[in-house]
Structure 1
Amino acid sequence: MTSVKYPAPMWNDLRRGLWIALAYTALGLGVIGIFLPGLPTTPFILLAAWAAAKSSRRLHQWLLDHRLFGPMVRDWQARGAVSRRAKRLAVLMMSLCAVLMFATAPKWWMAATGTACMAVVAIWLWRRPE
């Protein structure tokens, strides 16, 4: 069986399209996360910026220049830093989600597993520079 050779421009266009789709999907989830408790904003915005940097200069620049998202993206790209305010909000939301999980999960171990994952993320987050 012979392999099909695709022209490089077609592959590059497909790859760029996938990066753009990831960037806009992550941006959309990040914006929804502003209003929906339990859905994180910062990780999705950072993912959107990363994907946009690989595919869309315009979107990446828009994120860098944005009044709300710009500082977190610039801090992350420059030093891998997360603001203290973002850390506090993230831990507060994870704590609220843990309480909700323990109140509503059918089995205690399900809530404990989710809470343990959030605790690992919280520890990692607090070890990041500010």
Structure 2
Amino acid sequence: MTTPSNPALRERYLRDAVATASPAKLLVMLYDRLVLDLARGEQALRDGDNTEARAQLQHAQDILMELRASLDTTLWDGGPGLAQLYSFLLTELIQANVRKEPDRVASCKTLVEPLRDAWREAATAAATPA
């Protein structure tokens, strides 16, 4: 499925996609955007574009804070560990942003990508009829 190229249509498409997505799909969408923000932030730091890096890394931090705020650590044994990982990632991104360290951002992305893939698998499995 492709998204429209007209900016207004694209915005409406994205808004509609978010509004109609299941909670599992929304989680995957957040992780996808987090990975994208990290990749863009890392590249911006490598290119010396500190303004763009700051914007991307701050958006990634916002996503991490949303993921942490929506995590109910009482629902499963891994919840507290995931909360700690979100806090660790947030701290790392703040430091990477302040110190202009693209390798630190890359390390965060390396931690996030397998989580994204696992959530995507879980969402697909949950959406598949038995």
Scaled by the length of structure 2, what TM-score is found? 0.38
Q: Which protein is bigger by CA-based radius of gyration?
A: 1
Higher relative contact order (CA 8 A, sep 6+): 2
Scaled by the length of structure 1, what TM-score is found? 0.38
- Higher helix proportion: 2
